[in-house]
Amino acid sequence: MTQLRTNPKVDEYMKKENNWKEESEKLRQILLECGLTEEFKWMHPCYTLEGKNVVLIHGFKEYCALLFHKGALMQDPHRILIQQTENVQAARQIRFTRVDEIFEKEMILKDYIKHAIAIEKTGLQVKKKTDINIPEELQFKFDENPALETAFKELTPGRQRAYCFYFSQAKQAKTREARVEKCIPDILAGKGLNDE
């Protein structure tokens, strides 16, 4: 049996993982057996193929998950892929709350991972919705401050959508204006709505 190549940063992550240690270690073993390269991105173990992100191990408060970067393109015969929120366009998760669920689904997981690898090899991309409705309160600020509009357009489409959704959810114009005003420094700094 060939030695599976592990990443020292992921070794450190696994040592510190408290909530989902067993689950994360089992998922790691499965992913390495599928021939992916182990990297550490976004503070989580990430598995790549020729530098392209395929799947990530992610621990949340309520569950541990495999997050497939192009999950929207995957077939889901077992109906286990979950769209995290309605704003997430490409990624899909498979969630676990116990390590035995991972053992039970190991062969299914390997099939899904192989499918994700095959999709990556084809070079297919998820067609993302690009139509973003700019709330008038934000457009007013763009008219006042062209640098703000430039900074906003440099954000990823997902970050742009998150801001617009957040602004437009407020029922009163006064609240929408206050939300826009509060977010201006983060937009100018290139940060998303929930970035630290």
Question: Which of residues 97 and 17 earns the better pLDDT score?
Answer: 97
Q: pLDDT confidence of 59, banded at 50, 70, 90?
A: confident
pLDDT more than 70, % of the chain: 94
Q: pLDDT confidence of 108, banded at 50, 70, 90?
A: very high
Q: Exposed (0-12), middle (13-18) or buried (19+): which is 162, by Cβ within 10 Å?
A: middle
Give the predicted TM-score (pTM) of the model: 0.64
Contacts of 156 (CB under 8 A, 6+ apart): 192
The architecture that CATH gives domain 8-122 is Alpha-Beta Complex (3.90)
Place of tokens 């696994």: 14
Statement: residue 2 has pLDDT above 60: no
Statement: residue 130 has pLDDT above 70: no
Q: What distance in Å separates the CA atoms of residue 87 and residue 35, rounded to the nearest whole number?
A: 31
Statement: residue 1 has pLDDT above 50: no
Question: Which of residues 91 and 196 earns the better pLDDT score?
Answer: 91
Ranked by mean pLDDT, the top range of 37-46, 105-114, 135-144 is: 105-114
Q: What distance in Å separates the CA atoms of residue 88 and residue 83, rounded to the nearest whole number?
A: 7
Question: Which of residues 96 and 5 earns the better pLDDT score?
Answer: 96
Domain limits, the chain: 8-122, 136-188
Q: Exposed (0-12), middle (13-18) or buried (19+): which is 99, by Cβ within 10 Å?
A: middle
Contacts of 9 (CB under 8 A, 6+ apart): 39, 40
Q: For residues 128 and 157, is the Cβ–Cβ distance under 8 A?
A: yes
What's the whole-number average pLDDT of the chain? 88
Phi and psi based region of residue 170 (left: phi greater than 0; alpha: psi -120 to 50; beta: remaining): beta
